[in-house]
Each structure stands twice: as structure tokens, then as C-alpha cells.
């Protein structure tokens, strides 16, 4: 996001859990001012509590926000801007992780949900925040996945959304770059987070396959991805 994040206003989606939470906690420790958002109110409260302490914490805010609902996104972003006046960085992290299923088993509802959260959600948040971004100097970090590069049987819809995130983000970079707003993509491998648990812990074989799919031979952690995200 930036070399110095102290005092920067950062909007995070998907901050109630996993990678979003890990990144919020890391950014809090660096002195950033956080607008943490998620559809999960209880998880959001837990993340907010983890970001307590330090002079920056009195400026943090938390907002229940469904990224797939553009009216909700617009309202929440307006609240954030009313409080801070601007946004320096956005961490577009909200997402629904894959459920391994064949195309024949995949329902239209599953397709619509993944597209509306993983892809349209990023569009909604991006469109609502662009007018309020610090320019030059602002930045977006958009979370794709290893599934945005490498196809995997049984995850066609998830793959489509994460390939889509990469195309969307590259176009964002071309459009926003001339304004001095950077756009970067983080594409994690297999990370041990709550919603990945269904696949990760489903069978010992599945976990072993994921561990072996990462260069380090272990599952990644939310903190690993937080470290990458804040340095881009």
C-alpha cells in the first residue's frame, strides 16, 4: 500500500475474518486509521476489539457492509468519507472461498453468489471509492487467488471470479494510474482461514495436497498475506 501507513485512512472489506482480519491487525500496528467493513457483524466486532490500543485506535470505525449490494456500499462509503474526508488506501478482500464441486453439481445460485461477491463486490467498492481517493498517492490492493492464475477442476466458478479480478484490476491500474493511484493484486496460495476449512480439513489428503501446493510446504497464514499486502 505504501511505505508509511501511519495516519493513512484505509478501507478494508472482508475484515471480519481470515486474511482481512490479519491485515487489519497488521495495519493497526503500523498506526493506520482503519474503516473496517464486513457482512459479518459479530466477526467485525472481534476484529475491532483486536485493533484496540494505541492513539490510532480511537479513530477506527467499523461498518457492516455487503459488498454485493451497491446501495449499501454507497451508503457506507459516504459515511466513511463524511468522517475522514478522504480515503488513502482500499483493501478489496471480501470474498467467498471455493466449494469443490463439478459443473453438473453447480447451481445457478452458487454461480450468482460468487460472481456477486467476488467480482461485482469489488466493482461496487471500487466505483464508490474512486472519487474520494487521495490522488496522487492513493492505492488499491485487490485480492485474487492462485486460482486466478491456475485452473483447478471442481472450482470453475471461483476460478472465473478470481481470473476476473485480475483482468478487472489490470484495467483499473491503466485507468487510475494517470491519476497517481496505484492498483496491485495479491494472489494467495492456500491459506489456513475459517472458510477454507471445509476443503483444508475435509480430509488429510486434501490438506496434504494444499500444503504441497505451496512452495514452503505448509499452509500460508493470514499474517503472511497481510505482510505482502501492506508492502505493495
Segment interacting with ligand NAI, rule: CB under 6 A, options 14-22, 75-83, 99-107, 126-134? 14-22
Which of 20, 89, 120, 123 binds ligand NAI (CB under 6 A)? It is: 20
Q: Which is nearer to ligand NAI, 66 or 88 (CB)?
A: 66
3-state secondary structure the chain: CCCCCCCCEEEECCCCCHHHHHHHHHHHHCCCEEEEEECCHHHHHHHHHHCCCCHHHHHCEEEECCCCCHHHHHHHHHHHHHHHCCECEEEECCCCCCCCCCCCCCCHHHHHHHHHHHHHHHHHHHHHHHHHECCCCCEEEEECCHHHCCCCCCCHHHHHHHHHHHHHHHHHHHHHHHHCCEEEEECCCCECCHHHHHHHCCCHHHHHHHHHHCCCCCCECHHHHHHHHHHC
Active site residue 158: yes
Segment interacting with ligand NAI, rule: CB under 6 A, options 10-18, 74-82, 100-108, 173-181? 10-18
Which of 48, 76, 95, 138 binds ligand NAI (CB under 6 A)? It is: 95
By CB under 6 A, is residue 169 in contact with ligand NAI?
no
By CB under 6 A, is residue 224 in contact with ligand NAI?
no
Q: Which is nearer to ligand NAI, 74 or 134 (CB)?
A: 74
Which of 10, 12, 27, 117 binds ligand NAI (CB under 6 A)? It is: 117
Amino acid at each position: 500500500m505504501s511505505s508509511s501507513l501511519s495516519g493513512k485512512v484505509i478501507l478494508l472489506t472482508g475484515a471480519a475474518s481470515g486474511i482481512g482480519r490479519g491485515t487489519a491487525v497488521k495495519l493497526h500496528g503500523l498506526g493506520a486509521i482503519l474503516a473496517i467493513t464486513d457482512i459479518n457483524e459479530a466477526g467485525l466486532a472481534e476484529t475491532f476489539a483486536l485493533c484496540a490500543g494505541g492513539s490510532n485506535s480511537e479513530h477506527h470505525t467499523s461498518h457492516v457492509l455487503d459488498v454485493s449490494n451497491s446501495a449499501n456500499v454507497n451508503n457506507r462509503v459516504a459515511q466513511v468519507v463524511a468522517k475522514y474526508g478522504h480515503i488513502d488506501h482500499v483493501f478489496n478482500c471480501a470474498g467467498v472461498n471455493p466449494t469443490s464441486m463439478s459443473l453438473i453439481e453447480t447451481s445457478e445460485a452458487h454461480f450468482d453468489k460468487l460472481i456477486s461477491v467476488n467480482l461485482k463486490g469489488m466493482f461496487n467498492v471500487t466505483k464508490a471509492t474512486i472519487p474520494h481517493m487521495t490522488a496522487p498517492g492513493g492505492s488499491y490492493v485487490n485480492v485474487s487467488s492462485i486460482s486466478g492464475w491456475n485452473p483447478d477442476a471442481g472450482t470453475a466458478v471461483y476460478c472465473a471470479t478470481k481470473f476476473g479480478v485480475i483482468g478487472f484490476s489490470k484495467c483499473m491500474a491503466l485507468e487510475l494510474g494517470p491519476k497517481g493511484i496505484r492498483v496491485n493484486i495479491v494472489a494467495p496460495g492456500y491459506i489456513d482461514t475459517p472458510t477454507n476449512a471445509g476443503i483444508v480439513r475435509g480430509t488429510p489428503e486434501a490438506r496434504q495436497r494444499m500444503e504441497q501446493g505451496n512452495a514452503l510446504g505448509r499452509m500460508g497464514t493470514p499474517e503472511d498475506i497481510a505482510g505482502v499486502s501492506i508492502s505493495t
